[in-house]
Amino acid sequence: TTAATLERFTVNFTITNLPYTSDLQNPDSARFKSTRRVMNMMLDRLLKDSSIGPAFHGCETTDFRYGPGSDRDQTRVDAVCTYSKEPWAAPLDRVGLYHQVSNKTRGITQLGPYSLDKDSLYVNG
pTM of the model: 0.90
Residue 8: pLDDT above 90?
A: yes
| Whether the predicted pLDDT of 4 surpasses 90 | no
Q: What is the structure's pLDDT at 1? A: 54
Residue 95 has pLDDT above 70, yes or no: yes
Residues 6+ apart with CB under 8 A from 15: 74, 75, 76, 77, 111, 114, 115, 116, 117
pLDDT at 125: 65
Portion of the chain with pLDDT greater than 90, in percent: 76
Q: Do 16 and 121 touch, CB atoms closer than 8 A? A: no
Distance of CA 9 to the CA centre of its chain: 9
CATH number of the CATH domain containing 87:
3.30.70.960
The pLDDT assigned to 103 comes to 95
Domain count of the chain? 1
Q: Containing domain of residue 40, as a range? A: 5-124
